[in-house]
A and B are shown apart, each in its own frame.
Chain A
Amino acid sequence: MNRQPESGARSSEYVPAALEVKNLTFCWDSQHPPLAFPDLSLPRGEHLFLHGPSGTGKSTFLSLLAGMLAPATGSIRLLGADIHKLDAGKRDRFRADHIGVIFQQFNLVPYLTAEANVSLPCRLSQRRKTTTGKAPTPAAQRLLTALAIPQSHWQRKVTQLSIGQQQRIAAARALIGAPEIILADEPTSALDSDNRDRFINLLLTMAEERNTSVLFVSHDRSLARHFHHQLQLEQVPA
């Protein structure tokens, strides 16, 4: 039942794909059945919608892609690099340099201001700081403005902001420093439908400006229309 992304998978041989997954399986422990994941390949700058009902291992898949969990078998190549062949420290650095993440909720460090949350990746990654022209704060402010966070909220504690605002701040954090890949784990599930469409449009538009690939996971199939590719994630015994 696995489907390859519908188009453009191998259009440019010399630029490594943003994301390439082969024969990936994962096993929590011997008591759980192993999970198998579809092969996929996502070119730079294109977006993939990954649909899956709960319990199909969406978050596990994203954790594997981000290099935070180790697969049982198979390979994951991000920008041509097999991230699970890197040692732990390099993997963390790779994630800091090349991947932005947006969670379902509780996306922000509660004790940092909105602005500090957005510029956080630039403090963890020299590369992303350089991409902002060594000026993370103005870059963060531009992103916050573009994502319609009022200036009066920039220095506020993030816990005082609405869920919609928090998710947009998380998007700004994922976008800052133009990482090649953004992994988004149901970021719109807590938003109403107006906010949801606005959020996805903003995210994808700004990602395209930065030539960033977005891998977006959701159980809400109606969102698929915003994306170049879509893929069904199903529980497949390995």
Chain B
Amino acid sequence: MKARLAISLAGASLWHRRKVLALVCLTLTLSVTLLLGIQYLRTEVKQSFTSTISDTDLIIGARSGQLNLLLYTVFHIGDATNNIRWSTFQELEQDTRIDWLIPISLGDSYKGFRVVGTSKDFGEHFRVGRGQPLNLTDGQWFDGVFDVVLGAGVARTLNHRIGDEIILSHGGGRTSFSNHKDTPFTVTGTLEATGTPVDQAVYISLQGMEAMHVGWESGVAIPGRTLTPEQAEGRDFSPSAITAVFAGLDHKILTFRVQRELNQYAGEPLSAILPGVALSELWRLMSQFERALLGITGFVVITSLIGLVAVLLTLQTQRAHEIAILRATGASPGLIASLYLIECLGLAVVACVTSLGLSAFAISMLGPWLLTNYGVQIQLRPLNIEEWALLISVPLAAVLVALAPALSAWRHSRYQGFGSPGEA
């Protein structure tokens, strides 16, 4: 009965002071929204991070560290230390334990986007997310030597359509001074957005990669030795080297054995890595940063809780009369103190519920926009345990900080006399 009285009094008191408290509640709401948002992004980023590559059992490249190999093959960051011979790739094709192989050849760029030379196996076997295949929104995979397929991000940013002719650049970088002017490529297809680095690259055949580099053996185009598309017709452009290979095995159980054999390959020094292991190592590095971010957001919430308590303490002086009345009518100091606790808890709960709604609204509004404009995939989903824990910790922290005004109210109201406190 006393609890019900306390709750109804606290509710009425909050409503009475709603104008002042709305502002502190808003501050708290925004900081809790920030906290939820950061935590949500953390899990989503982790999710989209781990979904950059799927179903690939091994990535094989020239001898290097596993992070380096992962970064340049999957994330298109950094460069390969060396190439691997085409003969090595052909030998791998003979291995009966290997189900499929995707050769990739890197090194060129198109307006800052990586050019990936590969085979049709890329479209067939490469998977992202939870085994989601790459689909074309438009057109078809490259067929001719000078055909190019654009990642969703490239097509969107540069506004290319099927049939456009594009000139690829030699080497990386956004502005390149040496362009493959003589060998323009024709857009034959664009990929669906995946929210992975796949969106940020253009795809040509290995033959196309070879063809445009004829006459570039010294690193720059030697006039008269480069090919025109007409000259290229009918010629064989078997590559002599590629950058890396994605491999899928028939039996996952053989993964470690094949990996070890490849790492000890006699023909040339190779590195074979497990993408999942490399990804989690990379994530461990990144998670330091995002944990720091979460920590900062936590402090933002604590700051606004302290602001809330500061306001409650300020209001306490205005409430002297009310406390005197309640005490004189027979309310115990405990009841007075509980008013502060309940009010602070109530505000925190209101802030949490509002910020849940706000976050859900923001995510459902921004989700599609983020995907089309930034290739970041965020969708509404139920909160996980960690997020619930984070959310529930806010009212708990509120009760904890409300102990300050509650204790001071309890102490003062014990010696509350008639009239104003202290002048009884």
- Near A by CB (< 8 A), chain B positions 307-355 give 321-322, 324-333
Would you call B414 an interface residue if the criterion is a C-beta within 8 Å of the partner chain's C-beta atoms?
A: yes
Would you call B370 an interface residue if the criterion is a C-beta within 8 Å of the partner chain's C-beta atoms?
A: no
Interface contact A103-B324, CB-CB below 8 Å:
yes
What CA separation (Å) do A93 and B331 show in the bound complex? 8
Chain B, residue nearest A113 (CB): B12
Assign chain B's interface to a size class.
20 to 34
Interface stretch, picked from B243-251, B274-282, B415-423, is B415-423
Would you call A234 an interface residue if the criterion is a C-beta within 8 Å of the partner chain's C-beta atoms?
A: no
Given contacts A68-B416, A103-B324, contact A60 B331 (CB under 8 A): no
- Total count of chain A residues near the partner, CB < 8 A: 35
- Near B by CB (< 8 A), chain A positions 165-210 give 173, 183, 185
Would you call A108 an interface residue if the criterion is a C-beta within 8 Å of the partner chain's C-beta atoms?
A: yes
Would you call A214 an interface residue if the criterion is a C-beta within 8 Å of the partner chain's C-beta atoms?
A: no
What CA separation (Å) do A99 and B5 show in the bound complex? 19
- CB 8 Å contact bits of B186-201 with A (1 = contact, 0 = none): 0000000000000000
Given contacts A92-B330, A111-B12, A124-B329, contact A106 B321 (CB under 8 A): yes
- CB 8 Å contact bits of B1-30 with A (1 = contact, 0 = none): 110010001001101110000000000000
Interface contact A66-B418, CB-CB below 8 Å:
yes
Find chain A residues with CB under 8 A from B5 CB: 123-124
Interface contact A92-B417, CB-CB below 8 Å:
no
Find chain A residues with CB under 8 A from B326 CB: 109
Interface contact B13-A111, CB-CB below 8 Å:
yes
Would you call A59 an interface residue if the criterion is a C-beta within 8 Å of the partner chain's C-beta atoms?
A: yes
- CB 8 Å contact bits of A91-122 with B (1 = contact, 0 = none): 01101110101011011111110001000110
| CB proximity of A160 to chain B, nearest CB, Å | 13
Chain B, residue nearest A26 (CB): B424
Interface contact A173-B332, CB-CB below 8 Å:
no
Would you call A235 an interface residue if the criterion is a C-beta within 8 Å of the partner chain's C-beta atoms?
A: no
Would you call A236 an interface residue if the criterion is a C-beta within 8 Å of the partner chain's C-beta atoms?
A: no
Interface contact B418-A110, CB-CB below 8 Å:
no
What CA separation (Å) do A104 and B330 show in the bound complex? 18
Identify the A interface with B (CB < 8 A). 59-60, 62-63, 66, 68-69, 88-89, 92-93, 95-97, 99, 101, 103-104, 106-112, 116, 120-121, 123-126, 173, 183, 185
Query: What are 8 A-B pairs with beta-carbon distances under 8 A?
Result: A59-B418, A60-B418, A92-B332, A95-B329, A96-B330, A104-B419, A112-B12, A124-B5
